[in-house]
Amino acid sequence: MKREPLTPDDPDSRLDNQVRHALNVSLETISPRQQAQLNAARRKALASRSASARPAWQGWMGATGLATSCLIALLVLWPATNTPTLDGFADVLPLLELETDEVELIEELEFVYWLQEQDKVAREQG
């Protein structure tokens, strides 16, 4: 943060000096009330530091809590993501849902169809 060199003989630097002088004089005219308000603003800003600053143990607690949550989430989701899917057994799935009696009925029906086929073949040959 260094001021760029200004030469005193340069009219531009003279202008700068005049304005700086005016501004510096204007600082001296800041009223006690304004000064008190500025001091209060500064104190409030500094107080916000202590309010926003957390003790170290709170930071550790937060980090540990986050790590535990991640671990639990991983343990819960891991089996779910690795469970084998039954996409390849789509044709068989309806059968798995059948009751034992219903399976026997299907076997009966297949037997009936087979008998009908046998009768048909015998008639064609006869």
Partner 1 sequence: METFLAQIQRQAFRMAQLATGNEADALDIVQDAMMKLVQRYQHKPSDEWRPLFFRILEHRILDWHRKETLKRRWFFWKKPTDNEDSDEQIDLLEQHPDDNEPIQEIATRQLSEQLLDTLRQLPVKQQQCFLLRSWEGLSVAETAHAMGITEGSVKTHYFRARQKLQQVADQHET
For position 54 contacting partner 1 by CB under 8 A, the verdict is no
For position 12 contacting partner 1 by CB under 8 A, the verdict is yes
For position 4 contacting partner 1 by CB under 8 A, the verdict is yes
Dihedral over Cα of 92, 95, 100, 103: its sign: negative
The radius of gyration computed from the CA coordinates of the chain, to the nearest angstrom, equals 45
Least separation in angstroms between residue 13's CB and partner 1 is: 10
Query: Which residue, 39 or 58, has its beta carbon nearer to partner 1?
Result: 39
For position 82 contacting partner 1 by CB under 8 A, the verdict is no
Pure H helices in the chain? 11-28, 32-52, 56-82, 93-96, 100-125
Cβ atoms 93, 86 nearer than 8 A: yes
* Count of residues interacting with partner 1 (CB under 8 A): 32
Tokens of 15: 């202008």
Window 19-48: residues binding partner 1 (CB under 8 A):
19-23, 25-27, 29-30, 34-35, 37-39, 41-42, 44-46, 48
